[in-house]
Amino acid sequence: MLDAPVAVPSAPTTDEKLLAQALSGKHLIGGRLVPARSGQTFPVVNPATGEQIGTAALGDAADVDAAVQVAAAAQKDWAKMPARKRGALVAKCAEIITAHVEELGRLIALETGKALRTESRVEANVVADIFAFYGGLGSELKGESVPFSPDVLSVTVREPLGVVGAIIPWNVPMLLMALKVAPALVAGNAVVVKSAEEAPLAVLRICELLNRVLPPGLFNMLSGFGPDCGAPLVEHPKVRKVTFTGSVEVGKIVATTAAKKMIPVTLELGGKSPMIVFDDIDLARAVDGAITSMRFTRQGQSCTAASRIYVHEKVFDAFAAALAKRVDAMVMGDPLDEKTDIGTIISKEQFEKVSGFIAEGKATAGATGRACSAMPTDPRLAKGLFVQPHIFSGLSKASRLVQQEIFGPVTCLFPFNDWQAVLAEANDSEYGLAASVWTNNLQVGLRMAHALEAGLVQINQNLVVQANLSYGGVKSSGLGKEASLEAMLEHFMHKKTIMVNMA
Ligand code: ADP
Ligand code: MG
């Protein structure tokens, strides 16, 4: 029934279930929605109810080869098009996405369990913004002139890399896809995206919408599992750049393959981001900041989530109490309901993993884990993968909850009294993605910002990714940058030197 041929709606729709069914069982290759060459599919499940909402094409090496071949052919003419014209087409992509924000928000809420009001609609708007931002940068693919000698003109020009393979995760799939696809296209590359197995449909819809504007073959989308579909994409000889967001473990596999092929790779991996709250900051502001930073509206499924919060001992108890009260007031429920703040965990596998961390924390001597908010009572959601947010205190630094990325609605609080000591604690992590410092003492704030080992440090705010700000981690959090003009120039193009001797 779920593979029944339902026409893909051409106009924006708010019937997310019909849309899921219409997109079922398809890749997008060469401008067309096509089934897997093997004819096989796998189920797509709504994590808020446990119901199957559709299927996705089960991609393998044959599908990868088909997509990469058409991408390589299409890229040749695309690279010859004036860059500004490519940008104009990418800006048009932003307009189509804007017209479909509501639809995309509903579809991503259905397949990921992320609440529409607090997360899913927001994500769809950010996707439009990313395409609009890069669409305006076509004229900025500039090289330099290099002083050499009076009779020699020496310049650098930037050229696209060819076919880019992009592998994305399930937590913010539309946004992370956009951060790869929009700059890759404006730079003159073609792209083959491998979606995450847990969330293949909304990104497929975006690909279908954008293929109404873009020449066929430039933007292709495959669904499937990592080893069967992701690995052959990285290995394909015509893929000349890989951009990956996901786990450290898989990031290392991707980097190893890229090294063997001698191709560049961008890796956005995990995080264990610290938030540091001093006693001079207004408590309400710090608590507001923690609510944004912890990303509990995304069930903590964010690599930049503040999963370690260090609070000055003078305000520790007041902060902990106020924070728990605020999280208590957040509503867990149906992701598509406008009243809902917090939706569900993405999959059973993640649900078990997160629940395991919480159980371990609760069983730790000397630690307390405060369960906040309340489980939904609607019987339709009885099989939903809801996890109550937990705020831990009293855990030791060695705890797995403090060392490892949980990717769930869990944070750990620690008291501190000395800024140098807390700085050392914050840096004592395998990860280095993001950090935030909350203080009115800007001398201390700035010193910490310089000393924190992270790709992004914010003082007195903790915003999510912005299109024009370079984003990416240090240490095990990854390699290279995304977002910003710099990321497009440095990671989706190479520089060629041309010298003309006019003597
Ligand atoms: P998570 O554990 O959150 O699922 P992963 O790193 O496993 O994170 O997955 C992120 C993305 O990487 C997904 O699209 C997944 O299918 C893909 N992936 C997993 N294994 C591989 C692999 N060996 N090669 C390439 N891609 C992979
Ligand atoms: Mg995985």
pLDDT in tens, 129-173: 999 999 999 999 999 999 999 999 999 999 999 999 999 999 999
DSSP, res 198: T
Tokens found for residue 68: 């990469």
Ligand nearest to the CA of 249: 1
User: Could you read off the pLDDT of 240-269 as tens digits, one per residue?
Assistant: 999 999 999 999 999 999 999 999 999 999
Mean pLDDT of the chain: 97
Q: What is the pLDDT of residue 442?
A: 94
Tokens found for residue 258: 């890229």
Q: How remote is the CA of residue 226 from the centroid of ligand 1, in Å?
A: 5
At 302 the three-state DSSP class reads coil
**Mean pLDDT in residue range 427-445:** 97
Specify the residue for token string 């001992």: 313
User: Could you read off the pLDDT of 46-96 as tens digits, one per residue?
Assistant: 999 999 999 999 999 999 999 999 999 999 999 999 999 999 999 999 999
Name the residue of 177, 244, 250, 353 to mutate for ligand 1: max ligand atoms within 8 A of Cβ: 250
Check if 303 is active-site: yes
**Mean pLDDT in residue range 413-424:** 97
Residue whose CA is at the smallest distance from ligand 1 atom 10: 246
Catalytic site residue from 207, 303, 372, 412: 303
- Number of the ligand 1 atom closest to the C-alpha atom of 253: 23
Tokens found for residue 38: 């093997």
If we measure between CA atoms, which residue out of 253, 260, 78, 248 comes closest to residue 169?
248
Indicate the pTM of the whole model.
0.97
**Mean pLDDT in residue range 201-212:** 98
Q: What is the pLDDT of residue 6?
A: 86
Q: Are 220 and 193 in contact (CB under 8 A)?
A: yes
Catalytic site residue from 16, 111, 123, 268: 268
Ligand nearest to the CA of 197: 1
Neighbours of 159 (CB within 10 A): 15
Q: How remote is the CA of residue 152 from the centroid of ligand 2, in Å?
A: 53
Residues of the chain with pLDDT > 70, as a percent, come to 99
Residue whose CA is at the smallest distance from ligand 1 atom 15: 226
Q: Are 397 and 425 in contact (CB under 8 A)?
A: yes
**Mean pLDDT in residue range 390-407:** 97
Q: How remote is the CA of residue 198 from the centroid of ligand 1, in Å?
A: 11
Q: How remote is the CA of residue 501 from the centroid of ligand 2, in Å?
A: 54
If we measure between CA atoms, which residue out of 56, 55, 53 comes closest to residue 110?
53
* Rounded alpha-carbon distances, angstroms, from residue 286 to 107, 221, 465: 33, 41, 20
**Mean pLDDT in residue range 306-313:** 98
Q: What is the pLDDT of residue 449?
A: 97
Q: How remote is the CA of residue 287 from the centroid of ligand 1, in Å?
A: 34
**Mean pLDDT in residue range 93-121:** 98
H-run or E-run covering 64: helix 61-80
- pLDDT above 80 for 5: no
For residues 236 and 396, give the distance between their C-alpha atoms in angstroms, rounded to a whole number. 45
Q: How confident is the model at residue 3 (pLDDT cuts 50, 70, 90)?
A: low
Q: How confident is the model at residue 464 (pLDDT cuts 50, 70, 90)?
A: confident
H-run or E-run covering 306: strand 306-312
Ligand nearest to the CA of 258: 1
Which residues have CB under 6 Å of ligand 1?
167-169, 194, 196-197, 225-227, 230-231, 234, 246-247, 250, 253-254
**In one letter, which amino acid is 173?**
P
- pLDDT above 50 for 221: yes
Check if 140 is active-site: no
Q: How confident is the model at residue 465 (pLDDT cuts 50, 70, 90)?
A: confident
For residues 336 and 340, give the distance between their C-alpha atoms in angstroms, rounded to a whole number. 8
**Mean pLDDT in residue range 166-187:** 98
Ligand nearest to the CA of 198: 1
**In one letter, which amino acid is 306?**
A
DSSP, res 214: S
Q: How remote is the CA of residue 197 from the centroid of ligand 1, in Å?
A: 9
Q: What is the pLDDT of residue 1?
A: 44
Name the residue of 42, 167, 223, 302 to mutate for ligand 1: max ligand atoms within 8 A of Cβ: 167
